[in-house]
Chains A and B, each alone.
Chain A
Amino acid sequence: MPDLLSVKNLKIEATSYPPGEPPKTVTLVENVSFDVQKGKVLGLIGESGAGKSTIGLSALAYGRGGAAITGGQVLLNGKDILTLGRDGVRTIRGCKVCYVAQSAAAAFNPAHKLGDQVIEAALRHKIMSRPEAEKRALYLFKVLGLPNPETFGDRYPHQVSGGQLQRAMTAMALCPNPELIVFDEPTTALDVTTQIDVLAAIKHAIEETHTAALYITHDLAVVAQISDDIMVLRHGKTVEYGTTKQIIEAPNQDYTRALVSVRQTKREEARDQSNTLLNIEHVSAGYANGFKVLHDVSMHLPKGQTLAIVGESGSGKSTLARVITGLLPPQEGKITFDGKELPRALSGRTKDELRRVQMIYQMADTAMNPRQTVRDIIGRPISFYYGLHGAKKTERVRQLLDQIEMGDRFLDRYPAELSGGQKQRVAIARALAAKPELILCDEPTSALDPLVAEGILNLLMKLQEETAVSYVFITHDIAIVRAIADSVAVMHRGKLVRFGPKSKVLSPPFDDYTDLLLKSVPEMELGWLEKVLTTRRMESAGN
């Protein structure tokens, strides 16, 4: 069978123009080749900066920002679309090849109705008449499981939810009956329970319409559910390219193996439940405008252990962290720390109370002052809480850098000169510098690539063994919970759904929400999506 899309020796470069300096050219993608057959799905996977989106857009002969395709061929049905010229390319885009962006919210024009935008490409390329296109849009809305498909097209982008927008974007790509669709991380911005619906809808729609696809993501478990072949990318180069089965079950390269086996480690939970460090009792909290975010939440954490708080966006898990720190004083309930009730507000707490609870943020970028060096960032808590200065302070900073597995040479670097993982390590060192008893970790790994995240988690575990510090670990990722938690709290819409030792919380019988949450997390297993969908269908049939 002839290939629908055949990419040969692709090279993509980007030129930037820093003011006052000569232009800089960086190679984004080099020597990448792959083929996609009719009706097949190829998954492109890699961490940020791997060049996967750039490669995906090359199928539309498009370079984002300053990126330009400088070498190789992109053959669509045997014809090189790179040689088509400005007008020729227009006959490909939105007609033969369509694109689904990561953020549908930004990709839809706020000024027009969804329906008009969905059928626009089909009309403009004279593929169908308006009634035909509207009929097809309606059909696609139904296939994708959108609510009220008849009237869905009359709404404006801001009037529907994020998950619905992402499906509408898929409908927009499918509408002109393209031969190939490029999906660029279409579910990354969604919550897990929404992600599975959108994923199922996309898979169903692709099968139904026999469209080929390039599916770009950083989540191997997701791509395993949807693609026939997988290409693993790193730093703009191919690491491994093979069938999904081979990549998942018998990877050839170390990097791929690491990706597949990431977070397979499961830690045994601590049994000792005495010696409570933190006790949260019947806490309710909300904002000044009367909007209540937390309703009667209670949980506790023993010394030297990890409490994972898991939930989706809007579950109130980050708000709970703000309540513990005193940034948001609770309206009801109390928080006891080491047997003593903590003052509600930050301003009422003593320096020592503040020292004993430290925090690590999701975005290390914004959590560190860009104008301070690593020495200043880690050194400040040392001089602030312990009054150490000069050589003694530097000595302690060196010691901490050693603990986080970074060396002296980072002392005088600025945050902008560190990688994402290194920044998060420095943030951990800053928290450790206060010698705290509790560290609140607010999704510290969710902005990092999987292997880097793994390193951070291992570091946190090592530090817990060394210093007996306790963690409250806020996350949306069940895999992390399995890996590091001793006890688990599941939160949903500001309420505590389930709380207890990990072994109890993560095993049946489940309440409805925990069940849904656990089943929604993609697993690195072929056919997982079908399995979940079947059980779901059976359950709904049984009801």
Chain B
Amino acid sequence: MTGGGPLTGPALTTGMGAGGDSPSQPAPASGAMVTPTTGVVTGTFWRRFTLRRPLAALIIQRLGLSVGLLFAVSLMIFGGVEALPGDFATTYLGQSATPQAVENIRKDLGLDKPLTERYLNWLGGAVKGDFGTSWASKNSVSEQIGKRLGNSLFLAFFAALISVPLAVALGMLAVQYRNRLPDKIINVISLAAISLPEFFVGYLLILFFAVQLGVATFPATVYDSMGFGERLSAIALPVATLVLVVLAHMMRMTRAAILNVMSSAYVETAELKGLSAFRIIAKHAAPNAVAPVINVIALNLAYLVVGVVVVEVVFVYPGMGQYMVDAVTVRDMPVVQACGLIFAAFYIFLNMAADILAILANPRLRHPR
């Protein structure tokens, strides 16, 4: 992962600026931030910092890892795609390609330049938010993505808003009635729910609510001049689908996380102190259960980001997912690469958030010896 430093630097500008501005923060930031794992800035300074501030050190390490991963992912998405067999120019022109036309189109698309140069150009552009021009529509990819990314996030946000509290509540309910009827019912239903494909749930909802009852709209089209309320009613069904899909997973994981804490020895100690059930849960179980539960939520939000792809196709919703699938069918590579990178970035970011929250919630790290 050499070269990770300079290339990935800009992504961290805000963090580094803050670190550099305040003199009280010993410059851990800039240099060490990006490359603690690569070993470029090791030596006594980093080791001393790790001992003195293990929490900060771990978080910086995790941030660095994510940046490195993102960089490696960009390499894979670009380089890996190029390395695979299949000539785009030929694909682009279809069966009627004459050698001359292929040559022209290669020059047109910039495919005649060396691979590294194209990669650096692409990455440099991507960091600035410029993903080039779509082969199919000749429009700017960034412009298209800008609008659609907002739509996708709108959808994912409301799905999260409903599913997270619901999942946590159901998980706690299952723990409360562990091994009794409500728990068993929740277990069987959630087991079935994680086996349902997104499109099946989606069409089932459409058939029932939009076609038979006529209470919801299909397809879920949104456009610029739409009011907020209209938008909400347009996305009701896709949100419901996403919630159903992600809820079961999140609930099962929440249940497991809480059960794990409730069966610990310190909860038994609290019980043997004669504390009330409420105090045991609020004071002794909750502080230790919050971290794993937040972790569960972050992981499932990462899953949600991917789940939008299928749901958008089902509901003909103008978001990133549908854009990417359309681009894949016509092999519009700039769009595919841009969408791939953005989806991967969200996924990596949420996974990182999950890890960092887990680190933050660990009292052993918060209060070093």
Q: Do chains A and B touch in the complex (CB under 8 A)?
A: yes
- Could you tell me which A residues sit within 8 Å of B by CB distance? 17, 60, 62, 64, 89-95, 98-99, 101, 103, 106-112, 120-121, 124-125, 156, 158-159
Nearest chain A CB to B237 CB, angstrom units? 39
Instruction: List the A side residues contacting B276 at CB < 8 Å.
Output: 90, 124
Contacts of A91 in B (CB 8 A): 274
Whole-angstrom distance between the Cβ of A234 and the nearest chain B Cβ: 26
B128 within 8 A of A: no
Given contacts A107-B266, A109-B269, A159-B369, contact A120 B275 (CB under 8 A): yes
Residues in A whose Cβ lies below 8 Å from that of B275 = 90, 94, 120-121, 124
Are the CB atoms of A93 and B363 closer together than 8 Å?
Answer: no
- Assembly CA distance A60 to B271 (angstroms): 10
Say whether B274 contacts A92, CB under 8 Å: yes
Q: Which of chain A's residues have a CB closer than 8 A to the CB of B279?
A: 124
Complex CA–CA separation, A109 to B283 (angstroms): 10
Cβ-defined partner of B273 (8 Å) among A17, A121, A158, A159: A121
Q: Is the CB of A106 within 8 A of B274?
A: no
* Interface residue count on the B side (C-beta < 8 Å): 22
**C-beta contact mask, B255-276 vs A, less than 8 Å → 1, else 0?**
0000000001110111111111
B interface secondary structure, majority? helix
Q: Could you say which of A17, A89, A110, A111 contacts B274, with CB atoms under 8 Å apart?
A: A89
**DSSP majority for the A interface?**
loop
Report how far A106 CA is from B275 CA in the complex, Å: 18
Decide if A110 touches B364 in the complex (CB within 8 Å): yes
Q: What chain A residues lie within 8 Å of B37 (beta carbons)?
A: none
Nearest A residue to B276 via CB reads A90
Instruction: Output the nearest chain B residue to A176 by Cβ-Cβ distance.
Output: B273
Which of A95, A103, A158 has the most C-beta atoms of chain B within 10 angstroms of its own C-beta? A158
Residue among A64, A109, A159 with max Cβ neighbours from chain B (10 Å): A109
Does A156 contact B266, Cβ atoms closer than 8 Å?
no
Which residues of B sit under 8 angstroms from A60, Cβ to Cβ?
A: 272
Q: Any chain A CB within 8 A of the CB of B287?
A: yes
- Judge whether B134 is part of the interface by a CB distance below 8 angstroms: no
Known: A90-B274, A93-B273, A93-B274. A109 touches B369 (CB 8 A): no
- Give, as a whole number of angstroms, the nearest-CB distance from B80 to chain A: 34
Q: How far is the CA of A70 from the CA of B179 in the complex (A)?
A: 22
Closest to A60 in B: B272
Please report the C-alpha to C-alpha distance between residue A94 and residue B271 in the assembled complex, in whole angstroms. Answer: 9
- State the Cβ distance, B275 to closest chain A Cβ, in Å: 6
Contact A159 B274 (CB under 8 A): no
Q: Are B265 and A106 in contact (CB under 8 A)?
A: yes
Collect the chain B residues with CB atoms within 8 Å of residue A120's CB.
Answer: 273, 275
10 A-B pairs within 8 Å (CB atoms) are namely A60-B272, A62-B272, A92-B274, A94-B273, A98-B272, A101-B269, A106-B265, A109-B270, A124-B273, A159-B369
Complex partner residue of B265 from A98, A101, A121, CB under 8 angstroms: A101
Query: Which residues 298-355 in B have Cβ within 8 Å of A in the complex?
Result: none
| Contact, CB under 8 Å: A93 / B284 | no
B38 interface residue (CB < 8 Å to A): no
Identify the closest chain A residue to B362 (Cβ): A110
A-B complex: 9 closest residue pairs judged by Cβ atoms: A94-B273, A93-B274, A94-B274, A106-B265, A111-B287, A109-B266, A90-B274, A121-B273, A107-B269
Our pick among A62, A103, A111, A121 for the contact of B363 (Cβ within 8 Å) is A111
